[in-house]
């Protein structure tokens, strides 16, 4: 923080001992600053291009504005974000701002610079949780900051009631947080119990229940169980539906959609996954292999790698499996796999 | 030959498959382009085999089963030759080549669990088939 006026004024501000605010220079500006005199500070690490400027408007009012100072865009005027009048902080801003520069973030930046009560017993806390900022005062009041919020910098209390949108945002984020914590707790419990059983079995996988394959987070442990029981046996315990059947050059294929419980997530949810049933032309044995899901299939597990099928057909699945799209287009694993780009082998054993 | 239209160009190839190993017979241009896909030619190494070679060209090696997709060179016709194009830092005999060339005579690819397959002279790109692990949410090469 620095002053733009002469060094004498700067020296006074530096030596000033604040009574109410943690930031003594802002309090000095309120108490002794001349009109249009200002102090400024930068945003936190990660937001070094935003500059927060406090300017004395008149005898008892100080305004806070932002200025954006990016290397590649030059300097641009930002918004009027807050005003201090008679030690009451009022938040301003635009309601449609992206959360990162919305009112919660500007409160956080002001608090970071000490625009909050000096008394450590009256300190405020703010954090971003799931989808909204949670601000907590020393008296236990918790809310999501909103435009128009008034905070008393001397007593550390909230002076007005949260508006309807703020209450909704707070409740939504709180509910989401509660749900996520519950999910994590169940997933941890499932994983820990499955791990305990796995180590206790000491390689004798017959002792493990089949659904442990869905509880382990570690893929290697899952693979051990799948290898022991066989995928076919595991799939028989699940809901399945046949998406497509085809015979190509006398070989029979079946594309099956399997409803797999996603137990590791801790939620009572399922995800559909495509498996291709085929017969080894040399041995006549039937086996299953997972293939990518068709375009538009909802994914509960978030990001999934490995491309997708144009449609849930045997030919598209075989095209994906063999990598026809990769050879034809030179693309990597995300190349398109469709009926059209499948090329049957001239010979297959 | 199969013709497949793409926006960029027509790619022609024939496909041969033995279990999890797929061999795409392509023209010289596609072969050079795909072999060179991960870098310049200096990154790639070639290993030559003929009927006098002590070792056999191996296209894939099953780590768990120990089964091998290979051409037994001593059983081939005298003029038969194969050149494997190995990716950088990959070793012929244990790793899968990016591609291979068969010259002069048709060769036979063998495997313990699959019937033998005849491969005529030409240039081939090699791919291992992939599978999707729905539980882990990722795709991977089929391993045996």
pLDDT at A294 over 50: yes
Q: Band the pLDDT of A266: cuts 50, 70, 90.
A: low
Other CB atoms closer than 10 Å to residue B59's CB: what's the count?
A: 23
Q: Which of A260, A264, A349 is opposite residue B117, by nearest beta carbon?
A: A349
- For residues A187 and A196, is the Cβ–Cβ distance under 8 A? no
Nearest alpha-carbon partner for B143 in B66, B62, B60, B69: B62
- Tell me whether B68 touches chain A (CB under 8 Å): no
- What does the alpha-carbon distance between residue B104 and residue B127 come to, in Å, rounded to a whole number? 23
pLDDT at B83 over 60: yes
Other CB atoms closer than 10 Å to residue A56's CB: what's the count?
A: 20
Q: Tell me the nearest-neighbour CA distance from B12 into chain A, angstroms.
A: 8
Q: What is the pLDDT of residue A222?
A: 74
In DSSP terms, B139 is beta-bridged to B132
- Tell me whether B67 touches chain A (CB under 8 Å): no
pLDDT at A136 over 90: yes
pLDDT at A126 over 70: yes
Task: Give the chain A residue nearest B130 (alpha carbons).
Answer: A321
CB contact under 8 A, B142 and A289: yes
- What does the alpha-carbon distance between residue A252 and residue A200 come to, in Å, rounded to a whole number? 42
CB contact under 8 A, A322 and B118: no
Strongest mean pLDDT among A153-167, A292-306, B12-26, B100-114: A153-167
Q: What is the pLDDT of residue B9?
A: 60
CB contact under 8 A, B17 and A301: no
pLDDT digits (tens, 9 = 90+) for A267-285: 667 778 888 888 777 777 6
> Do strands A132-136 and A142-143 pair parallel, antiparallel, or not at all (unpaired)?
antiparallel
Q: What is the pLDDT of residue B7?
A: 52
Task: Give the chain B residue nearest A291 (alpha carbons).
Answer: B132
- Tell me whether B33 touches chain A (CB under 8 Å): yes
- What does the alpha-carbon distance between residue B96 and residue B76 come to, in Å, rounded to a whole number? 21
Quote the distance between the C-alpha of residue A275 and its chain's center.
30
CB contact under 8 A, B15 and A214: no
Q: Report how far apart, in Å, the C-alpha atoms of B21 and of each of A174, A292, A330, B97, B124 are.
A: 52, 19, 19, 11, 12
Q: What is the pLDDT of residue A150?
A: 97
- Chain B contacts of A315, Cβ < 8 Å? none
Strongest mean pLDDT among A53-57, A187-191, A248-252: A53-57
DSSP reduced 3-state for A313: coil
Task: Give the chain B residue nearest A276 (alpha carbons).
Answer: B131
- Tell me whether B2 touches chain A (CB under 8 Å): yes
- What does the alpha-carbon distance between residue A256 and residue A8 come to, in Å, rounded to a whole number? 80
- For residues B96 and B118, is the Cβ–Cβ distance under 8 A? no
pLDDT at B20 over 50: yes
Map tokens 């699945």 to a residue. A317
- Tell me whether B143 touches chain A (CB under 8 Å): no
Look up residue A163 and give its two tokens: 């508006």
When pLDDT is averaged across residues A176-191 and rounded to a whole number, the result is 82
- For residues B82 and B107, is the Cβ–Cβ distance under 8 A? yes
Look up residue A343 and give its two tokens: 């090329």
Q: Tell me the nearest-neighbour CA distance from B4 into chain A, angstroms.
A: 6
CB contact under 8 A, A327 and B19: no
CB contact under 8 A, B134 and A321: no
CB contact under 8 A, B33 and A290: no
- Chain A contacts of B122, Cβ < 8 Å? none
Q: Which residues contact A97 (CB under 8 A, 6 or more apart)?
A: A79, A103
Q: Which residues contact A107 (CB under 8 A, 6 or more apart)?
A: A82, A91, A126, A133, A135, A145, A149
- Tell me whether B66 touches chain A (CB under 8 Å): no
- What does the alpha-carbon distance between residue A230 and residue B47 come to, in Å, rounded to a whole number? 39
- For residues B127 and B19, is the Cβ–Cβ distance under 8 A? no
Quote the distance between the C-alpha of residue B80 and its chain's center.
16
pTM higher than the cut 0.95: no
DSSP run (H or E) holding A34: none
Look up residue A93 and give its two tokens: 């801003």
Quote the distance between the C-alpha of residue A129 and its chain's center.
10
């Amino acid at each position: 923080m620095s002053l733009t006026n002469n060094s004498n004024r700067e020296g006074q501000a530096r030596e000033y001992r604040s009574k109410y605010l943690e930031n003594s220079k802002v309090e000095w500006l309120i108490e002794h600053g001349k009109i249009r005199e200002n102090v400024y500070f930068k945003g936190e690490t990660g937001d070094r291009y935003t500059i927060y400027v406090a300017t004395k408007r008149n005898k008892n009012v100080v305004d806070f504005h932002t200025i954006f100072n990016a290397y590649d865009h030059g300097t641009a005027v930002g918004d009027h974000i807050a005003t201090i009048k008679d030690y009451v902080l009022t938040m301003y801003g635009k309601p449609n701002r992206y959360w990162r520069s919305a009112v919660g973030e500007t409160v956080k930046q002001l608090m970071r610079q000490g625009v909050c009560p000096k008394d450590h017993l009256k300190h405020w806390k703010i954090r971003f949780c799931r989808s909204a900022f949670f601000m907590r005062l020393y008296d236990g009041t918790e809310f999501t900051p909103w435009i128009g919020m008034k905070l008393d910098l001397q007593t550390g209390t909230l002076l007005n009631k949260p508006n309807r949108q703020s209450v909704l945002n707070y409740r939504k984020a709180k509910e989401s947080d509660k749900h996520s914590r519950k999910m994590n707790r169940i997933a941890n419990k499932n994983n820990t119990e499955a791990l305990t059983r796995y180590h206790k079995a000491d390689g004798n996988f017959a002792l493990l229940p089949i659904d442990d394959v869905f509880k382990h987070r570690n893929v290697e442990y899952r693979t051990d169980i799948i290898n022991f029981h066989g995928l076919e046996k595991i799939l028989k315990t699940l809901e399945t539906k046949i998406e497509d059947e085809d015979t190509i050059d006398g070989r029979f294929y079946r594309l099956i959609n399997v409803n797999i419980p996603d137990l590791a997530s801790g939620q009572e949810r399922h995800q559909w996954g495509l498996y291709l049933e085929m017969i080894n032309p040399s041995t006549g044995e039937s086996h299953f292999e997972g293939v990518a899901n068709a375009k538009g299939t909802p994914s509960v597990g978030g990001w999934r790698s490995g491309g997708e099928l144009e449609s849930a057909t045997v030919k598209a699945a075989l095209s994906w499996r063999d990598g026809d799209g990769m050879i034809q287009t030179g693309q990597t694993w995300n190349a398109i796999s469709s009926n059209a780009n499948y090329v049957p082998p001239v010979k297959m054993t | 030959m199969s013709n497949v239209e793409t926006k960029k160009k027509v790619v022609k190839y024939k496909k041969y498959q033995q279990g999890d190993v797929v061999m795409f017979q392509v023209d010289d241009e596609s072969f050079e382009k795909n072999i060179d896909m991960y870098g310049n030619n200096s990154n790639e190494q070639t290993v030559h085999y003929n009927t006098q070679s002590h070792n056999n060209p191996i296209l894939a090696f099953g780590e768990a089963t120990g089964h091998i997709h290979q051409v037994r060179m001593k059983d081939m016709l005298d003029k038969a030759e194969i050149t494997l194009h190995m990716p950088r830092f990959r070793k012929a005999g244990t790793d899968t080549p990016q591609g291979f060339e068969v010259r002069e005579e048709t060769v036979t690819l063998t495997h313990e669990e699959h019937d033998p397959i005849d491969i005529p002279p030409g240039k081939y790109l090699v791919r291992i088939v992939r599978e999707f692990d729905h539980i882990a949410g990722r795709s991977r090469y089929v391993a045996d």
